[in-house]
Amino acid sequence: LGIKSKNGLLYEEEVEKALSSLPLPSFNEITKAVKEAFIEAYSYGLTELHIMSVKEWELKVYENVLKEVPMKLRVYTDSIPQDTFDGHLMKIKGVKVFMDGSFGGRTAALREPYSDDPSNKGLLLLNSEKLGALMKNVAKKGLNVAVHAIGDKGVEEVLKAVKETQLSNLRIEHASLTPPDLLEELARFKLPISVQPNFIISDWWIVDRLGERAKWVYPFKSFIREGLLVAASSDAPVEPLNPWIGVYAAVDRGEREGLEIWKISSSQKLSFEEALSMYIRGKVLEDTFSKESVVPNMPADLVLLNINDIPKDIRSIKSIKASMTMINGRIVYSSNGVKISG
């Protein structure tokens, strides 16, 4: 398989090589799983999904599912697509690439070593020159680049590419560690950023990993204060699809979980309204399908929730569900069962 490992563990590209050798489920099995995932998404009140790192054969699965189970999809493929299309429910918007790895695997690219691994600064999987060349290439097709950048060195390289190309056809996935100088640069370029509040809870070890730098991770309040174009997502299947877990994480900031991140960055906690707004403000990620207003004679996305007011008990946020979900004026879900209406 051409897989290399110094210590018996696989990281980033070597993991991809190993996974690519595994047999895939059948087309019908994958189709069934996607249908079930869309229906689960309805139950949370989701009407639009951004699907990342999609392979060409997967597009056929989504096209097949959308004939029966409607869902607005915006797709970023794992390589430059040969053909692009702008469908009624599914649009190819660009290409997803990785600048670095993750905090969990200590592969996110850092300017300085990991606090719990002093000889390691993580991995740069791209550089500003290669990212810039890709941005220019996909711009010719009218497409964008979604670039995964978690560590401060990774974010720094992304910003270099933007400065070198003077292009703006890019959105950053994560931008997790953003010290003040990078925050200032992000605000200057006003690049769309997709953040994942769930990480606040699931990365419970982050202070050990980054030390004092952890006060600059997931700085959602600062993003909002600086006027950045920020929207929240789940990062499923790495994290649960349920967006209400993310809303809870953004509001709680690890306080009720007893996490160290709360002690050093409590000023970054959000109000319920701010956190919810990050999930419904999809328009900041280019020209989204969904609109923030309902007007006469226009197809509407509408969600009714099982709450009457802003939850007073923060923990109860995780239990919020949709009572009804509507896509393009069609009721696709009700809490007493799935219902596809004309």
pLDDT computed for residue 289 by the predictor: 42
Residues in the chain: 342
User: What are the tens digits of pLDDT across the range 14-62?
Assistant: 777 777 778 889 999 999 999 999 999 999 999 999 999 999 999 999 9
Say yes or no to pLDDT of 301 above 70: yes
Q: What would the mean pLDDT of 238-249 be, rounded to a whole number?
A: 97
Q: How confident is the model at residue 214 (pLDDT cuts 50, 70, 90)?
A: very high
Q: How confident is the model at residue 239 (pLDDT cuts 50, 70, 90)?
A: very high
Say yes or no to pLDDT of 11 above 80: no
Say yes or no to pLDDT of 294 above 70: no
Q: What would the mean pLDDT of 143-158 be, rounded to a whole number?
A: 98
Say yes or no to pLDDT of 181 above 50: yes
Please name each of the domains of the chain with its CATH number.
47-299 (3.20.20.140)
* Residue in 313, 315, 324, 299 with CA at minimum distance from that of residue 88: 299
pLDDT computed for residue 338 by the predictor: 54
**How many angstroms separate the CA atoms of 209 and 207, rounded?**
5
- Is residue 268 within 8 A of residue 253, CB to CB? The reply is yes
Arithmetic mean of pLDDT over the chain: 91
Q: Is the pTM here over 0.75, yes or no?
A: yes
- Is residue 282 within 8 A of residue 192, CB to CB? The reply is no
Percentage helix, strand, coil, to 5, in the chain?
40, 20, 45
Q: What would the mean pLDDT of 221-244 be, rounded to a whole number?
A: 95
